[in-house]
Each structure stands twice: as structure tokens, then as C-alpha cells.
Amino acid sequence: MSTLNLKTLNKMMRKKASYLIPAMFGMLALHSPDAVAAPYTAVVARSNNNGKSVTTPVAWGAANNVVFMGVGGTSPSPYTKQSDGAAVLGVGIGDPKEIGVQVSLISLDVSAWGEYSTSIHLFRQLQDGDAIAVGVENVMLTDGGDSGKSYYVVYSRGVQDESVVNKATNTTKLHYSVGAGSGRFGDKSGLDIATGKGPHGTYLFGNLAYEVAESFNVVTDWNGLNLNAGVSKSFKVGNIPFGVTIGLADLTDNSGDGVRVIGAAGFGFKL
């Protein structure tokens, strides 16, 4: 194989390894305990504070001066035997009853700390516990990082049916989101194409989360390319709220070269 082909394949692998990670961290850290930005009315059950997705956006976001941080990764990265990791630091400002703004700074390579991107999430919470949002992920701030930016729009719902509302906490156990996006939500990697998996996914995504025990969600999502599933647990260490999500990615054969472990841990607090 020529040197040029080796370089091309390395770039293809790196692209697939990096661009799946950024969304995962923001979603996990954002939904750690007490990091939800705005209270609901007494007659509407709040969404719970656990992770609601493995790899896809939700419309709820951080606001009202909520700060969140997280780290995590995937093992192995697609088409390699190596693991990949990233970290995020973010803040939410504004009033989500009008418009909330969540901004994240992401380190795409925690081994070198040389590649950084940003993501911006604009959202509004609706009267019935729902939310809508638009956003952009992976806007590169440094050289390197072969993946491009991805835009999305998403609607999220905290189901209000009496059968899934925890009356003690006034939170709903059942949540789902549906959305559409560009970039990582539909563009497959060069190695996916080379191995006969086609060039495009659906560009449509969704997630579903259900609280099976206190502060413990079972979650699944379709990110436009593949099916993923996992669990999310929230807890406190003293007064500091934490969240942990771990799951399995690429459960179907639409992209990548097999099932892999993906996970993250983070916390959020209000200034």
C-alpha cells in the first residue's frame, strides 16, 4: 500500500473517531443532578436530571449561569484498536422560558490537548415541559481535527401521563427527542464507504430515556448512522452533583466495524 494511501486511511479513521464524541459530553454533563436550568410550573412534571441520550442532542439545555464539565471516550475507536477521549467545559446563560444559550469548549484529544472546538446550543422550554432547540457542534478553534461542523434542530418531550410521573419528586420518568441534522448525523466516514456501508445515513436522529430506578435512566438513541444504548446514573458527592453515562455504540452494522464501549462522567452546578 502506498504512503499516500496510508495517510488517507489514517485521516479517515481519525475523522470517524473524533466527530462522534463532542455531543456526548455536553449531554452528559448538562443532565447531571441539579444542572437543569429552569423550574417548571407546579402542574407540569419536570424532566429528571439523568442522562437522556448516548450520542444525540436533546433540546433541554443549561442556562441561568449553570457551569458543567465532563470527560469520557470510546473504546475502541472505529476501525482501530485504540481508544479515544475528549473533555468539555461549558456554561449556560439566559432564561430558557425566553431563550437559553449553552456554549461548550471541547478538547478533542485529551492525550495531546492540542485540538479544540466549540458547540453552541440555543433552546427554549415550552409550557408543557417540552423544549425546542437549534445548535451547531464541532466548530474548530485550532488547526487539526478532520471533522466538520454539524448543525441540528431538535424537539424534546418529558411525557406527562400520570402513569410515568413520579409524584414524590414531580418529575417524569419517560423522555424522548426527535431531530434532524447535517454532518455527523448523516455523513459516513471514508472507511465506511470503502467497506461498502454507503455514503449517507438518515440525517434524522432520536433518543428515548426511561427512569427504571431512582436517579437511573435506561437510554437508547439513533444518531443518524447507528443505534446506541446505555444507562445513566446521577448522584451527589457532598453538594456537588455528578452524572455518569456508559453504553454500547454501533449496535447495528450501518457504520463502524463493530460494537464499542462509550461513556462519560461529568458534573454541573449553578454559579
Domain that includes residue 172, residue range: 3-270
Tens-digit pLDDT profile for residues 152-211? 999 999 999 999 998 888 889 999 999 999 999 999 988 899 999 999 999 999 999 999
**Which DSSP state fits 200?**
B
Residue 217 β-bridge partners: 211, 232
- Alpha-carbon gap, residue 103 to 118, rounded angstroms: 7
Burial of 80 (0-12, 13-18, 19+ CB in 10 A): middle
Given a cut of 50, whether residue 12 has pLDDT beyond it is no
Are residues 78 and 21 in contact, defined by beta-carbon separation less than 8 angstroms?
Answer: no
Q: Which helix (H) or strand (E) holds 243?
A: strand 240-249
- Residue 2 is predicted with a pLDDT of 40
C-alpha cell at 32: 447531571
Q: What is the DSSP string of 141-189?
A: -SS------EEEEEEEEE---GGGEETTTTEESEEEEEEEESGGGTBPP
CATH number of the domain that 140 lies in? Answer: 2.40.160.40
- Residue 28 is predicted with a pLDDT of 57
Cβ-based neighbours of 196, under 8 Å, separated by 6 or more: none
Q: What is the number of domains present in the chain?
A: 1
Are residues 207 and 54 in contact, defined by beta-carbon separation less than 8 angstroms?
Answer: yes
- Alpha-carbon gap, residue 45 to 60, rounded angstroms: 14
Residue 234 gets the label, from left (phi > 0), alpha (psi -120 to 50) or beta, of beta
Q: At CA 80, angle to CA 76 and CA 84, rounded to 5?
A: 45
Confidence band (pLDDT; 50, 70, 90) for 225? very high
- Residue 15 is predicted with a pLDDT of 47
Rg (CA), the chain: 18
Mean pLDDT (the chain) is 83
Strand (E) positions, 49-130?
66-75, 84-95, 99-107, 116-125
Tens-digit pLDDT profile for residues 115-126? 899 999 999 999
